[in-house]
């Protein structure tokens, strides 16, 4: 198979251990968002028929894979983790080229896939159950994890390798097989990841890749009765559709969706540190992280000095091609994404917020062929404004005032999402009480809203998630089910709750 550094023009689906074209005969292009003249490759525009083939292959492979002992499954994953590590730089470059974020960040994305794969491979020797005393004599009681079967994996474009790894690797270590549909904007990183799994020795049919649109490929996965678990990361809007479509066949559905994350800067905060955090949280990945700090709530006593420093630093950010080592912020991923940002800039201005910096698309000179936009800060934002409530998914930060920590918490909790929140304060009592009172899945003290590590649960509350978590051992809960096992070695019928053991 070709390596990630070789330039292929046409890429295929991976079904039942072979690289095959879609039955549709149709393809779509993948172009560099920093320079649309750069055609990265052509990928299969697949249909429901391709999905059906992939699911059939995954179903057949499951009968073998589920019986491979988990520590042996894990050996393949250790090998895959090492292969990703060996190719980290080439994989990161491919990723920057196809989705735009700066190289440091795509290296981080690949590193997350390495960390997750090593971590989950370790779970091949754990997957602990419980052994408990039975209430009856001569009876043994325990619980074991069992896989579910075929898993449908649907992922977004903002973490093109990390997010697939968060889902595919735990699915595999638990003994499930996979049909993977990546975002149409980042199929190359998905393909690179699957190639590595193939090279590591994952058997035919255990992992299948089908590229194409959500309406065609994604939908077909949701209505197929042979799919038992769906793991989706993407927008709340599409997550709701996924949930509804999967419900009639009672699939297990794991959803990670939108966010409107908040950094609270209190009057005793180290302001320089808070400004650093807000820059990284707000403009890292061009604001296109589910955990992006798109809201900053600042105590009125430090509002003005904070805002002045934040604006000065945001203005100085170097926007450019992510492959250029001098760039600190890359382009938006697509023309549509930049259009959304521009619309929200208009909305913010109409709502009466003060445009403190930025606010324009960058369209001339070196920016002419990409989807660049200035880092943008709105000040004097009120919590009711749309720019303070809706996910923008771009380099736009809304700064609000508060008069107390209680008001900051009320603003933090006052949106439909609940992914990540953070507080900058030197007061440990305040930090702990806010940690308790903010209803999110992730919380930081004196650090921005981004920076999750793979061995802790990741996910959000309310419209961000549906109660599951990925990463950490929590991911095992998504990709396995409990089986409680009772072994009666008394040689007679013992009726639970009716017969009692003698003292
Ligand atoms: P999206 O919802 O548009 O697409 C996500 C995936 O779903 C893509 O693969 C897409 O092709 C597919 N899809 C679209 N319509 C579908 C349908 N009808 N049926 C099945 N699949 C369908 O999201 P996006 O633009 O790729 O990513 C951005 C969103 O993802 C943001 O809202 C962001 O907050 C969210 N996100 C959340 C997390 C998290 O962990 N909470 C992480 C990263 C991104």
Entry pTM: 0.96
Q: Are the beta carbons of 19 and 12 closer than 8 angstroms?
A: yes
**Phi and psi based region of residue 370 (left: phi greater than 0; alpha: psi -120 to 50; beta: remaining):** beta
Q: How far is the CA of 136 from the centre of ligand 1 (A)?
A: 50
Any catalytic annotation for residue 290? yes
Q: How far is the CA of 466 from the centre of ligand 1 (A)?
A: 15
Domains of the chain with bracketed CATH: 35-257+465-483 (3.40.605.10), 262-445 (3.40.309.10)
Question: What whole-number distance in Å separates Cα of residue 194 and Cα of residue 172?
Answer: 13
Q: Are the beta carbons of 473 and 173 closer than 8 angstroms?
A: no
Given a cut of 60, is residue 339 above it in pLDDT?
Answer: yes
Given a cut of 50, is residue 142 above it in pLDDT?
Answer: yes
Report the mean per-residue pLDDT for the chain. 96
pLDDT of residue 502: 86
Q: How far is the CA of 157 from the centre of ligand 1 (A)?
A: 8
Q: Are the beta carbons of 381 and 400 closer than 8 angstroms?
A: yes
Question: What whole-number distance in Å separates Cα of residue 368 and Cα of residue 471?
Answer: 39
Residues 369-422 pLDDT 10s? 999 999 999 999 999 999 999 999 999 999 999 999 999 999 999 999 999 999
Beta-carbon contacts of 329 under 8 Å, excluding residues fewer than 6 positions away, are 102, 283, 286, 317, 318, 319, 320, 375, 395
Mean pLDDT of 298-314: 98
Tokens of 404: 């107390």
pLDDT of residue 458: 97
Given a cut of 60, is residue 2 above it in pLDDT?
Answer: no
Any catalytic annotation for residue 256? yes
Question: What whole-number distance in Å separates Cα of residue 233 and Cα of residue 224?
Answer: 19
Ligand 1: which residue has its CA nearest to atom 28?
Answer: 234
Q: How far is the CA of 318 from the centre of ligand 1 (A)?
A: 28
% of the chain beyond a pLDDT of 70: 98
Extended beta strands in 45-136, E state: 130-133
Sign of CA dihedral 173, 176, 178, 182: negative
Given a cut of 90, is residue 501 above it in pLDDT?
Answer: no
Ligand 1: which residue has its CA nearest to atom 43?
Answer: 290
Mean pLDDT of 158-168: 98
Given a cut of 60, is residue 224 above it in pLDDT?
Answer: yes
Question: What whole-number distance in Å separates Cα of residue 165 and Cα of residue 378?
Answer: 35
pLDDT grade for 8, boundaries at 50, 70 and 90: low
Kind of pairing, strands 376-379 and 354-357? antiparallel
Residues with CB under 6 A from ligand 1: 154-159, 181, 183-184, 213-215, 218-219, 233-235, 238, 241-242, 256-259, 290, 391, 393, 419, 460, 464
Q: To 10 degrees, what angle do helices 187-200 and 88-99 make? A: 160
pLDDT of residue 82: 98
Catalytic residue among 105, 112, 123, 256: 256
Which is nearest to 479 in space by CA: 250, 146, 248?
146
Given a cut of 50, is residue 475 above it in pLDDT?
Answer: yes
In the sheet that holds 396-402, the strands lie side by side as 354-357, 376-379, 396-402, 295-299, 262-265, 420-424, 442-445
Question: What whole-number distance in Å separates Cα of residue 365 and Cα of residue 383?
Answer: 37
């Amino acid at each position: 198979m070709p390596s990630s550094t070789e330039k292929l023009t046409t890429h295929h689906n991976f079904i039942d251990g072979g690289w095959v074209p879609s039955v549709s005969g149709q393809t779509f292009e993948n172009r560099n968002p920093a320079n649309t003249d750069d055609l990265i490759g052509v990928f299969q525009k697949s249909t429901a028929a391709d999905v059906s083939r992939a699911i059939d292959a995954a179903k057949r492979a499951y009968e073998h894979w589920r019986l491979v002992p988990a520590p042996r499954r894990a050996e393949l994953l250790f090998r895959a983790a090492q292969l990703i590590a060996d190719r980290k730089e080439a994989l990161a470059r491919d990723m920057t080229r196809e989705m735009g974020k700066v190289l440091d960040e795509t290296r981080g994305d690949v590193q997350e896939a390495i960390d997750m794969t090593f971590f989950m491979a370790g779970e091949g020797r754990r997957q602990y159950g419980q052994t408990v005393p039975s209430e009856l004599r001569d009876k043994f009681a325990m619980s074991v994890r069992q896989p579910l079967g075929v898993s449908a994996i649907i992922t977004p474009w903002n973490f093109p390798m990390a997010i697939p790894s968060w889902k595919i690797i735990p699915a595999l270590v638990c003994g499930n097989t996979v049909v993977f549909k990546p975002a149409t904007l980042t199929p190359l990183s998905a393909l690179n990841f699957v190639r590595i799994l193939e090279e590591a020795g994952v058997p035919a049919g255990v992992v299948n890749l089908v590229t194409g649109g959500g309406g065609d490929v994604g939908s077909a996965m949701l209505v197929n009765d042979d799919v038992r678990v769906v793991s989706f990361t993407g927008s709340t809007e599409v997550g709701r559709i996924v949930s509804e479509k999967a419900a009639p066949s009672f699939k297990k559905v794991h959803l990670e969706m939108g966010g409107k994350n908040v950094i609270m800067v209190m009057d005793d905060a180290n302001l320089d540190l808070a400004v650093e955090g807000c820059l990284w949280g707000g403009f890292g990945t061009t604001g296109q992280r589910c955990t992006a700090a798109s809201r900053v709530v600042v105590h009125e006593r430090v509002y003005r000095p904070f805002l002045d420093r934040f604006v000065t630093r945001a203005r100085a950010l170097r926007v450019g091609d992510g492959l250029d080592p001098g760039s600190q912020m890359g382009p938006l991923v697509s023309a549509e994404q930049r259009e959304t940002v521009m619309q929200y800039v208009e909305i913010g201005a109409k709502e009466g917020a003060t445009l403190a910096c930025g606010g324009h698309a960058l369209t001339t000179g070196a920016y002419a062929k990409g989807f660049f936009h200035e880092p943008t800060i709105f000040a004097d934002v009120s919590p009711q404004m749309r720019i303070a409530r809706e996910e923008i998914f771009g380099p736009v930060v809304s700064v609000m005032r508060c008069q107390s920590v209680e008001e900051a918490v009320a603003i933090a909790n006052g949106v439909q999402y609940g992914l990540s929140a953070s507080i900058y304060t030197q007061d440990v009592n305040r930090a702990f009480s806010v940690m308790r009172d903010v209803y999110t899945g992730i919380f930081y003290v004196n650090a921005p809203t981004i920076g999750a590590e793979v061995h802790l649960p990741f996910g959000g509350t309310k419209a961000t998630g549906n109660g599951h978590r990925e990463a950490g051992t929590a991911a095992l809960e998504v990709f396995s089910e409990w089986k409680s096992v009772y072994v009666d070695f008394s040689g007679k019928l013992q009726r639970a709750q009716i017969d009692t053991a003698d003292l």
